[in-house]
Structure 1
Amino acid sequence: MKADSLGNETNVPINDWIDIGLFADAEEEDLMFQKRVKIDQEEMDFTFVVDTILAKAGIDPRHLLIDRVFKDNIKSVKEKLAQ
């Protein structure tokens, strides 16, 4: 969704380069990994291999984009063991 200077909102398909970040701590201070990816669908899966256990992952981890509700951008990480 995008808004003009008067606040009129319009739904538009997403097609943006957005940072994805991985945090080592629950306080979101230790950003261990960050990668800019092209997001062109409302739901996408990403897999990153790292050498430590992470606490959180998020879209736009440094809050560079304008977002009315930025608190939902970062979530706790569930560990998945490699097989």
Structure 2
Amino acid sequence: MQVWEKYAEAAKLLLRPEGSKVVCSTVAENKDFMERLLAVKPVPFKPSIPNLVYQYTLFTNFEPTVLCELNPEVPED
């Protein structure tokens, strides 16, 4: 998790004070950590990476208009 703490530190330096949109990806098990770190929540769409043994999840700090549906090539949990 130390790597994500450094990413978040760098991202916060780049974010506008009035607010910016954040999109990041990590495994679903990091949900609580990511919400605490960057105030992001998981979205239904998941990147399709067939050869990995684990599935990535996308997280955003806004309600997206195009990441709202689970893609059919990725099995549901």
Category of TM-score, reference length = shorter chain: under 0.3
**TM-score, length of structure 1 as denominator length:** 0.22
Report the structure number with the largest CA radius of gyration.
Answer: 1
Name the one with the larger helix percent: 2
